[in-house]
Structure 1
């Protein structure tokens, strides 16, 4: 997960600085620059490649960005029926409607669709979010799935070689039939890519209708016994051990909510 360090004299790219300040992700920061909403020392920026040197002032929508907060990571047990989004035009509840107001501004690492539940990582650091989402991390996501229909061990084993569904190629998936209950079956799945609706689309291709999808792990971080709608900060020591160079600043002590 290491990347070449940027010289302090040369500065850091503007999108990275904005992300580190917790304003948004690096990708969204690049969009803000493209929309002319970012100024550096009073000048509207035109390129996300612009570098910020120590002492320079960055404004987003006319407001100075905050000093970067220590990197923090939280485990959240997302329930079904809640969107992984900041807001919804249809008025459906989002994860932010369920989070305690005492928490800092947090961004989700990856997504879980509205009908999925389980572990969702949240961070205050847009650059850390980007690192954790990169396919290059190779982190395994584990799921427990309930689906309507029949499937064989042989069909699931073939997913280990990868599969292409409607023109989209998915990498190797470890899948195992756990048990059968009437017309439903429970399947354990592990994958590294986590493409949009990957589990549902792959199992749908096998003739299964997913009725429940629970994410149990994201890399080294586990849902464990964390109750629904509860959030707990990853201990600083664990964060440093797992992420190493991705953490540029010391993390705060653990808090529970």
Structure 2
């Protein structure tokens, strides 16, 4: 324990215990100050009475008799809050809270902001109090999106005016985006987006418009969405995604005795799996741009030059000249009568094509000569 003054330089050293414990995920700074007032936090075996204590490490600090360890790395979880649960660690009346049935591997976590008892949907949980505070600050302008079911008649003109902000009972609320989705009898569904996240902001604004909220679901908190999470379920946000979407926080994150600065190791981040090609689909070869001498070679993807086109036309003309033309006295396109004659025998080759021309030599009803019966062995007719 120290009073926070260096004997040689006279400068304060260490960090306020409320800030250090908030960074360690014990709770918000206000929660830690309240816990100190209740006598639940001790340092080196002595119960603290004032939050104005500076510490240089978490060694010797106990909360409710349990030692507080350093934060290994910043983690964040998405959680689907059920209706009729409280966003608090302990309730004097014994009502259910969101922290009652969390998995043991999550350890001690704190909620990013609060949802009232009858509000359901997305709730972010983290082990880093500094991250929770950064996400909650109005200056961060993190957008929270809700689906709201109200009872009453919705005036769409009044909804559009909310984009300029509104002051209710001396409290000013910033720009609010509200849009009517559908009407079901005396109820209506709307989508509402806010950036400040003040206490019961959506409900108070709807009451100001003469509407009664009978269901309120938070679907998005900044870049994080509720998705398909079932009520009471939680899902961890990957380290890579966390640093990608919250790069501004990690760039300017304050140092703390509760979380020593550590370098990131991107090699441990999960790499995206290659897309699988379904059976039967055709794989297309990617087009590689030709460079250097290869660019001069003809390609199906490159149009022919004028010289190449002229050379191709000349070849076509030569092939056409080599084809035999029509016979003398025959018009172009007219068939020649008869069959071609074989060179060896002088007889027509192949089978006759087309219909025979000229008059028949035999009378009707008589057999042709080639169908006459053949003679027998003694010159008589074959029986």
TM-score by length of 1: 0.83
Q: Does the 8 Å CA contact 2:86/2:95 hold for their aligned counterparts?
A: yes
Q: Does the 8 Å CA contact 1:13/1:52 hold for their aligned counterparts?
A: yes
For 1:238, the equivalent position in structure 2 comes to 241
Please give the alpha-carbon distance, in whole angstroms, between the structure 2 residues aligned to 1:229 and 1:222: 15
Please give the alpha-carbon distance, in whole angstroms, between the structure 2 residues aligned to 1:60 and 1:176: 46
Distance 1:228 1:35, change over 3 A: closer
Structure 1: gaps of 5 or more residues: 1-8
Distance 1:228 1:44, change over 3 A: closer
Higher relative contact order (CA 8 A, sep 6+): 1
Distance 1:101 1:37, change over 3 A: closer
For 1:115, the equivalent position in structure 2 comes to 118
Structure 2: gaps of 5 or more residues: 1-11, 255-260, 271-383
How far has the Cα of 1:85 moved from its partner?
A: 1.7
For 2:198, the equivalent position in structure 1 comes to 195
Aligned length: 246
For 1:170, the equivalent position in structure 2 comes to 173
For 2:155, the equivalent position in structure 1 comes to 152
Please give the alpha-carbon distance, in whole angstroms, between the structure 2 residues aligned to 1:240 and 1:168: 35
How far has the Cα of 1:39 moved from its partner?
A: 5.4
Higher strand share: 1
**2:226 maps to 1:220:** no
For 2:107, the equivalent position in structure 1 comes to 104
For 1:186, the equivalent position in structure 2 comes to 189
Please give the alpha-carbon distance, in whole angstroms, between the structure 2 residues aligned to 1:155 and 1:238: 38
Q: Which segment drifts farther, 162-171 or 11-20?
A: 11-20
Local SS of the residue matching 1:96: coil
Please give the alpha-carbon distance, in whole angstroms, between the structure 1 residues aligned to 2:193 and 2:230: 22
Determine which of 117, 133, 142 is the counterpart of 2:145: 142
Deviations 1:123-170 (A, max 9, x none): 122232222212221101011101011112111001111112222221
TM-score by length of 2: 0.58
**2:76 maps to 1:70:** no
CA RMSD of aligned residues (A): 2.8
Q: Does the 8 Å CA contact 1:179/1:186 hold for their aligned counterparts?
A: yes
Distance 1:145 1:100, change over 3 A: same
Please give the alpha-carbon distance, in whole angstroms, between the structure 2 residues aligned to 1:227 and 1:59: 35
Please give the alpha-carbon distance, in whole angstroms, between the structure 1 residues aligned to 2:91 and 2:22: 23
Please give the alpha-carbon distance, in whole angstroms, between the structure 2 residues aligned to 1:164 and 1:35: 36
